Amino acid sequence: MYSTVVRSSASKFHFLQTLRTIHTKEPNRRVAVTGLGVISPVGCQAETAWTNIVNGKCGIGRLDDSSYAKLPCRIAGQIQRSELRIDGAFTKSELKTMAPATTLALLAADEAIKSSKIDTTDRELQLRTGVAIGMGMIDLVDVCETNRALETGYNRVSPFFVPRILPNMAAGQVSIKYGLQGPNHAVSTACATGVHAIGDSFRFIKYGDADVMVCGAAESCISPLAIAGFCRLRALSTSSNDKPDKASRPFDRNRDGFVMGEGAAILILEELEHAKRRNAPIYAEILGYGLSGDASHLTAPQEDGAGAFLAMQRAVTDAGINSTDVQYINAHATSTPIGDAIETRAIKRLFGEHAKRLAVSSTKGAHGHLLGSAGNLEAAFTVLACRDGTIPPTINLENVTDDMDLNFVPNESQLWTRNGRRISLKNSFGFGGTNASICIAEFIDS
């Protein structure tokens, strides 16, 4: 009896110490990226996708199913199903409980965790590791099919319907699979979702709420209804159905809308000293995070780019650097006539004369716009750009207007000529006027 009490008291003491550690505010903690996982139209492993991006390969193709035949847009950035091997990764029972986006998140998380070489069975680490994974849109096909099932009878509605459509279930499933009991967080801020998830995770670690975060987003909502809805908004490219690999053309004079994509990307963020103690691979470092709201319009950003300007400015300030320290911007640029021009305007406003010395590129020409999972996929590419000293290209960039006079890295990757530490910004902006920017840098142990 005595020994039981002693063990109980010791356990209670350890638990209280853990809580004290969790709630200790340490804003000077450095945050490293120690793992990456990617499921995308340009490849289903991080290094494969990165190689394809650097080489300017395009993963956008035709939507051949007859259900798309009468739609103005009949192209998308789809994942090659042969690369996924979904059936081998999940049982039929598991698949009944998950939305397609959740399966993508779990596959990307598995790669990210393995690449970080972290031991998710370690009990103390489980207590200090959290998850922040979001999605921009639920699966509309599931909603439509369930509604049709209801018309034939109440009992035809799956008991897993609600869990499948909840935006936080990707985070929940990852947390459950690996026993992670740190913050369990989900973000759904339209096309800014992925960057918000990474930025929030950065702050969870910076302020001591966790030592490790599994973060990012997933999106799998390509369907006739989704395509039709975005077409009605006049947001999608409709002029290149016969040449899908040329449809997404950020910053180009002839851009006419974005191309919808799907996929997931997961980053492992980790407190630097924690990562160093376990000899973790360190890809890059997160320096800062900025957020803003346009307070303007449902779908269009402010014409002067005020929201984008504020997000970037706040990320730079949070990073404790000068704007002239930034050398590369991975732009949100989705290939819409209005959005790309406004982001360019905001970059020029913030960086002034230094803007002419920046490299600015958008990889969306290669994989399309992954909606909620766009920013995190592109953040993964930005991390690898900082690691390798290679700036990914903006493919399909053939002509620009006179006011679009920055180095948009047209069609071929560029060597990141070292001028001090490699420092970048990754931008993401979403409907409703929600904006996010994170500052990602080459890791230097100093």
- Per annotation, catalytic residue among 332, 367, 386, 439: 332
- Per annotation, catalytic residue among 185, 274, 367, 369: 369
Distance CA 375, CA 366 (A): 14
Compute the chain's Rg from CA coordinates. 22
Distance CA 6, CA 198 (A): 41
Q: How far is CA 412 from CA 51, 272, 357, 408, in A?
A: 12, 34, 18, 10
Contact between 367 and 373 (Cβ < 8 Å):
no
- Concerning whether 332 is annotated as a catalytic residue, the answer is yes
Q: How far is CA 303 from CA 143, 352, 407, in A?
A: 36, 18, 22
Closest among 22, 20, 15 to 271, alpha carbons compared = 22
State both tokens at 210: 């966790």
Distance CA 281, CA 295 (A): 41
- Per annotation, catalytic residue among 58, 73, 191, 221: 191
Closest among 335, 375, 344, 370 to 192, alpha carbons compared = 375
Distance CA 319, CA 288 (A): 4
> What per-residue string of b and e applies to 54-88 under the rule 16 or more CB within 10 Å gives b?
bebbbbbbebeeeebeebbbbbbbbbeeeeeeeee
* For the chain, the helix, strand and coil percentages under 3-state DSSP, each to the nearest 5: 45, 20, 35
Contact between 73 and 241 (Cβ < 8 Å):
yes
Give the DSSP H or E segment for 270: strand 263-271
- Concerning whether 191 is annotated as a catalytic residue, the answer is yes
Q: Which amino acid is at 61?
A: G
Distance CA 357, CA 360 (A): 10
DSSP code of residue 258: B
* Distant-in-sequence, close-in-space partners of 22: CB < 8 Å, separation ≥ 6: 128, 182, 208, 209, 210
| Beta-bridge partners for 436 | 291, 428
Closest among 115, 124, 102 to 176, alpha carbons compared = 102
Q: How far is CA 57 from CA 41, 172, 330, 379, 429, in A?
A: 10, 34, 17, 18, 25
- Concerning whether 14 is annotated as a catalytic residue, the answer is no
Active site residue ranges: 191, 332, 369
